[in-house]
Amino acid sequence: MRLSVLSAALAVTLLATAAPAQSTDPAYASLAQLQQAMREGTLSSHTLVQQSLDRIERIDRHGPTLRAVIETNPDALALATRADDARVQTAKPGLLYGIPVLLKDNVDTGDRMLTTAGSLALADAPAPHDAPLVAKLRAAGAIILGKTNLSEWANYRSTHASSGWSGRGGQTRNPYALDRNPCGSSAGSGAAVAAGLAPVAIGTETDGSIICPSASNGLVGIKPTLGLVSRSGIVPISHNQDTAGPMARSVADAAALLSVIAGSDPGDPATKDADRHATDYTRFLDANALRGKHIGVVRALVGAEPNADRALEQAIAVMKAQGAIIVDPVTLPHLDELGEPEGTVLSYDFKHDINAYLATRTGLKVKTLADLIAFNAAHAEQEMPWFAQELFEQSQARGPLTDKAYLTAQAKAKRLAGPEGIDAALAKHHLDALLAPSSGPAFMTDPVLGDHIVGGGATEPAAVAGYPSITVPASFAHGLPVGIVLFGAKWSEPTLIGIAYGFEQHTHALQAPRFLDTVGGTPQLAH
C-alpha cells in the first residue's frame, strides 16, 4: 500500500494503533479509526476506495496474485465521491458510511457488476435488482467495492471440489501461505479481508462457508441465526440453511456490519421475526463479557488436529482467567447423526431453490438446473477441468419437496440439531454457549483430489439447526491462523458477540499475513 494516499498524520495513527501484530500497513485500520479520520478530514471515502482498488491491483491481480476479488465495481469511485459530498449533510454517519465493502459473488447487485456464483453460465447479464442486504448496505452509506471469488456454486457442485476455485475466477489463494487453501465457499471474502483489500466483506454459509474461511484467514466471521438476514437475491443452495453474514478483522467490525444487514424482508418469510431481534450489536462489545458466562466444551469435536486442540486449550485458559465458568466436557446429543438427513435436505432443496432463483434473473440463457448441467457439459474445458458435477446431477434426480423422504429428513435434521441437540445441551448444563475448535490450520490446495479439511465438523450443528455461530482468531501454528468457534441458541448473537469480544480483547491474536510462498517460505509481496 502506498502511504502517499493518506495524510502523514493518519498514516502515523494507523501504523501505531490499527495494524495487526507484525504489520506496518495502514490497510488494516478498524471501521472506528477510519470513521474518525474521515470526521477529522484527514481521509476521504474517495481516497479510501482508491487505496483499496490500488491494493487489489497490486496484491490480488499481481504480486502474490490471490485471485480473491473476481470483479471490482466500475462505479466505486463515483459512489465514494458522492458519499464524501453528502457527508456534511448526513446526521451522525454510521460506521459503514463511506466504507468499501466486498460481496461474495453470489449476492445480487442491480448495477454494472455481474452476479455469477463463479460460473460462466450466469455471466451473460447482471442481476436486475440489489439483494435486500445490499440495499441496506447502500442505505447505510457503504460503497460496494466489488465481488469476491468463491467456491463455484458455493461449493455445491462436486464432492471433489477445491475450495476457492471457480470457472470465472480461478483458484483463490490463502495470503498467509499461498499454496494453502482459504477454505469454504466464501474463500475470496476471507482472503480479501485478511489481505487488507477491504475492511469488511459479506460471506454466505450453508454449512461452514463463513466459519471455515474466516478461521483459515485469521478473521472473525459470524454465521447468523437463519432469518436474521434476508436470503432474497442470493444464489441459493438450501432455504433450510442458507444465510449471509459478516467477515471482518475484529469482533467490533463484524458486529457493526451485522447491525446494518440484519432485519426483516417481506420477500423472505424466514425473516418475519428478524426485527424483534435485530439491533445495534456493537452494544454488546464488553471486554468483561466473559465474567460469569457458562461455556461448554464439546469434546467430541476435539482430537482431530493437534494445532487446533492446542489453540482450544489456550482459549479455555484465557476464558477461565477472565471469569468464565467452563463446563468440560459437554455432550452434544446426536452430533454423529446429522450428516445423512442434512445431505438429503440439501440435495432436494438445491433443485427447487436454484430453479426459483434463476426465474428472477433476466438475460440469461440458463433457466433451470438442467440447463446448468448441460452448460457445464458443453463448456467442460472451462468449467470442469478438475472436478465434475455429481451433486448437480443427484439434485436434478430428486423429486418435489412434498416427497416423504424429504419431509422426513427435514424434520429429523432440524429436531436433532436444534431442540434435541444444541438446545438440550445448553439446558442440561445451564450454558450460555458451546465451544469447539473452528478447524485445523489451512490445508494445501489440491485441485486433483479436492479439499482435505482436518479438525472440522464444528459448523454442522448450528448450520443444520439454523442457529448462530461465531469464529474468532485464537492462535497461530507454523504461521497459519487457528480459530475457535462459539455457537448457541437461536437469536443468541448478542451473547456470542459479547463472549467473542471479551476473548479477543484478552488475546489480540490477529496478525497480518506475510504472503509467503509456502509455510516457512519467502514473502511474495514487496512492500
The domain that holds 245 is classified in CATH as: 3.90.1300.10
Q: What is the pLDDT of residue 508?
A: 87
pLDDT band for 25, please (50, 70, 90 cuts): low
The whole-number average pLDDT for the span 105-128 is 98
Q: How far is CA 228 from CA 265, 269, 274, 434, 466, in A?
A: 10, 11, 5, 20, 10
Q: Which one is catalytic: 30, 45, 52, 104?
A: 104
Q: Which one is catalytic: 45, 209, 264, 347?
A: 209
In a domain, 96, yes or no: yes
Q: How far apart are the first and last CA of the chain?
A: 7
User: Domain containing 150: what range?
Assistant: 44-505
Strand duo 165-166 + 170-171: pairing: antiparallel
Q: Domain check: are 17 and 70 in the same one?
A: no
Residues of the chain with pLDDT > 90, as a percent, come to: 92
Which uninterrupted H or E stretch holds 36?
A: helix 31-40
Q: What is the pLDDT of residue 453?
A: 84
The whole-number average pLDDT for the span 462-468 is 98
| pLDDT of 1 over the 90 cut | no
In a domain, 522, yes or no: no
C-alpha cell at 428: 442440561
The whole-number average pLDDT for the span 308-332 is 98
Strand duo 469-477 + 325-327: pairing: unpaired
Q: Verify whether residue 136 is a known catalytic residue.
A: no
The whole-number average pLDDT for the span 313-340 is 98
| pLDDT of 487 over the 70 cut | yes
pLDDT band for 510, please (50, 70, 90 cuts): confident
Q: Domain check: are 23 and 89 in the same one?
A: no
Relative orientation angle of helices 31-40 and 8-17, to the nearest 10 degrees: 160
pLDDT band for 17, please (50, 70, 90 cuts): very low
Could you tell me which residues come within 8 angstroms of residue 41 by beta carbon, excluding any fewer than 6 positions away?
A: none
Separation between Cα atoms, residue 470 and residue 255, nearest integer Å: 11
Q: Domain check: are 480 and 361 in the same one?
A: yes
The whole-number average pLDDT for the span 120-135 is 98
Q: How far is CA 408 from CA 342, 396, 496, in A?
A: 11, 19, 31
In a domain, 518, yes or no: no
The whole-number average pLDDT for the span 131-136 is 98
Domain count, the chain: 2
| pLDDT of 317 over the 80 cut | yes
Q: What is the pLDDT of residue 420?
A: 98
Q: What is the pLDDT of residue 278?
A: 98
| pLDDT of 445 over the 60 cut | yes
The whole-number average pLDDT for the span 493-508 is 97
Chain mean pLDDT for the chain: 94
Q: Domain check: are 88 and 17 in the same one?
A: no
| pLDDT of 239 over the 90 cut | yes
Q: Domain check: are 273 and 313 in the same one?
A: yes
Q: Domain check: are 374 and 312 in the same one?
A: yes
Q: Domain check: are 15 and 164 in the same one?
A: no
Closest to 230 in 3D by CA, of 220, 211, 245: 245
In a domain, 79, yes or no: yes
Environment class of 337 (CB within 10 Å of its CB; exposed 0-12, middle 13-18, buried 19+): middle
Strand duo 480-487 + 469-477: pairing: antiparallel
pTM: 0.95
Higher pLDDT, 2 or 136: 136
| pLDDT of 397 over the 80 cut | yes
Residues of the chain with pLDDT > 70, as a percent, come to: 95
The whole-number average pLDDT for the span 230-245 is 98
Q: What is the pLDDT of residue 8?
A: 32
Q: Domain check: are 12 and 152 in the same one?
A: no
CA quadruple 179, 453, 406, 468: dihedral positive or negative?
negative
Separation between Cα atoms, residue 117 and residue 4, nearest integer Å: 36
In a domain, 379, yes or no: yes
Q: Domain check: are 357 and 429 in the same one?
A: yes
Q: Verify whether residue 216 is a known catalytic residue.
A: no
In a domain, 520, yes or no: no
| pLDDT of 413 over the 90 cut | yes
Which uninterrupted H or E stretch holds 203?
A: strand 200-205
Please list the helix, strand and coil fractions of the chain in percent, rounded to the nearest 5, in that order: 40, 15, 45
Q: Verify whether residue 104 is a known catalytic residue.
A: yes
In a domain, 216, yes or no: yes
Separation between Cα atoms, residue 200 and residue 191, nearest integer Å: 11
Q: Which one is catalytic: 30, 119, 158, 185?
A: 185
Q: Domain check: are 19 and 63 in the same one?
A: no
Q: What is the pLDDT of residue 384?
A: 98
Q: How far is CA 125 from CA 43, 362, 383, in A?
A: 35, 7, 18
Contact 110, 129 (CB under 8 A): yes
In a domain, 527, yes or no: no
Q: Domain check: are 20 and 65 in the same one?
A: no
The whole-number average pLDDT for the span 186-215 is 98
Q: Domain check: are 33 and 162 in the same one?
A: no
